[in-house]
Structure 1
Amino acid sequence: MKIYGYARVSTADQDLTIQREALKAAGCDTIREEKVSGAKLQGRDELRTLHQFMREGDTLVVTRLDRLARSMDDLSSIARQLEVKGVALKATEQPVDTSTAAGKAFFQMLGVFAEFETNLRRERQMEGIAKAKAEGVYKGRKASIDPAQVKQLKEVDGLSPTEIAKRLGVARSSVYRLLAC
C-alpha cells in the first residue's frame, strides 16, 4: 500500500512548496505536481499518471479538495474512479478520508461548497464586467481582424471567404460574421 500525493496550482507563477511540504509530512511516497487550472479534468496529465499507477489499498492525498477539482461533477467523477480502484482519498487540511463513512460524507459536503464558491466567484466577475461596461470602462477585446480589409478582399479582390480566411490567418466563421455586418 502506497501513499501518493497530488499538488496543484492554477498558474505557472504560483508556488507548490506549501503543498509539497504538507504532502511529505503526510507520509506520501510519491508526489506529483502540476500547474494547471482545476476547472476541468482535461490537461491534468499528472493526475492521470497517478490514477494509472495507483492500486487497490493505496491512498491519494491532497492538501484540500479544491486542489483536486473545482466542480462537484469532476470531484465526484474522480472519487468514483478512485473508489472503483479501491483507492482511498484523504485531505491534509480537511477531515476527508473516503475510507470512513464520516469522511465520505464530509467529502461530499466540501465538494458542494467548493462548487458553490466557484459559482459565486463567476457571478461576481460577471457583475463587475457588467458594471464596467455600463460605465464605459470595459469594451471587450480589441478586434483582431480589420473589417475594412475583409470587405476589400471580398469586393475589390474578389476572394472567397475561405481564401480571405487563409490569407489573414483567421477562422472562416470570423470572415462570414464580418461580411454579414
Structure 2
Amino acid sequence: MSGQLVGYARVSTVAQDAGLEGQLKTLEGAGCTRVFEERVSSVDLPAREKLAEALRYLREGDTLVVTKLDRLARSTGHLHDLLGELEAKGVSLKVLDMGVDTSTPTGKLIFNLVGSIAQFEREIMLERQREGIAKARAAGKYKGRKPTARAKTGQVRQLQSEGMGATQIARKLGISRASVYRILADLKIDSQEIEGSW
C-alpha cells in the first residue's frame, strides 16, 4: 500500500518568501498532498516546530519530500538522526534536487555514502587540528584557550575584599559564581570569610 507524499519547506527569514513560494510550488508539483512550511534558521533546531509536527504527522508507508537537503537538516549528523527516526516509522525520504529516494536500494546507498564521506572528512579535519596543535606546542606557540575567569583573579580578590558578594562579583565581571568560589578557594581565603561576605 503506497502512502502519502508529505512535503516540508523552510526558509531562514521573511525576506526569503520568494524562495518559500518556489519550494511550495515544487512540492505541490511533486504530488505532495500535505505540506508543512516554516521560516526559521537551520541552526535554530528547537524552534523548528513545523518539522516536528511533520514528523509526528507521518505514518508508515508515507514519504517526506524536500526540495533540497539543506532545507531539512542542519548537518550530516542531524540528517542521519532524522533518517533513523523516519526509518523507525517506516517512512521514506525523497530529496528532489538530488533525485534520491530512500525507499529504493540506490537511494539508501547514496545516503550511506554521503554519511560515510562526511564522517571521514570530519576525522581528517580533527586529525589535522591535532597535528597543528602538536606542532604549535613543539614550537612554543600554542598556549591553549585563555582561562577567562582565572584571568580575573585580581579583580575577584579586590571586589571580595571590598565586601562584595559572590553573585555581585560574578555579575560585575561576567563570570559564574562557581568561578568566583574557585578563585577565592585558590587564594586560600578563609571559608568563614567567604561565607560571611555573601
TM-score normalised by structure 1 residue count: 0.64
TM-aligned CA deviation for residue 37 of structure 1: 3.0
Q: Contact 1:40–1:74 at 8 Å: present in 2 too?
A: no
* Structure 1 counterpart of 2:4: 2
TM-aligned CA deviation for residue 35 of structure 1: 2.5
Secondary structure of the residue aligned to 2:56 is helix
TM-aligned CA deviation for residue 13 of structure 1: 3.3
TM-aligned CA deviation for residue 107 of structure 1: 2.7
- Find 1:160's aligned residue among 162, 165, 190: 165
Q: Does 1:85 align with 2:114?
A: no
* Structure 2 counterpart of 1:42: 46
* Structure 2 counterpart of 1:135: none
- Find 1:23's aligned residue among 23, 27, 37: 27
Change (3 A) 1:24 1:174: farther
CA–CA distance in structure 2, aligned partners of residues 45 and 20 of structure 1: 18
CA–CA distance in structure 2, aligned partners of residues 83 and 102 of structure 1: 15
Where structure 1 has 5 or more consecutive residues not aligned to the other structure, the ranges are 120-146
RMSD: 3.6
Paired amino acid for 1:160:
G
Change (3 A) 1:172 1:13: farther
TM-aligned CA deviation for residue 4 of structure 1: 0.9
* Structure 1 counterpart of 2:131: none
- Number of equivalenced pairs: 154
CA–CA distance in structure 1, aligned partners of residues 177 and 8 of structure 2: 42
Where structure 2 has 5 or more consecutive residues not aligned to the other structure, the ranges are 123-151, 187-198
Paired amino acid for 1:25:
G
* Structure number with bigger Rg: 2
**What percent identity do the matched residue pairs reach?**
48
Paired amino acid for 1:162:
T
Paired amino acid for 2:107:
G
Secondary structure of the residue aligned to 1:55 is coil
Change (3 A) 1:95 1:111: farther
Q: Map Cα deviations across residues 69-96 of structure 1 (whole Å, 9 max, x no partner).
A: 1322211111111111111111111121
CA–CA distance in structure 2, aligned partners of residues 21 and 150 of structure 1: 60
Bigger drift between 52-61 and 17-26 goes to 17-26
CA–CA distance in structure 1, aligned partners of residues 65 and 36 of structure 2: 10
* Structure 1 counterpart of 2:63: 59
* Structure 2 counterpart of 1:124: none
CA–CA distance in structure 2, aligned partners of residues 170 and 74 of structure 1: 32
Paired amino acid for 2:5:
I
Q: Name whichever structure is richer in helix by fraction.
A: 2
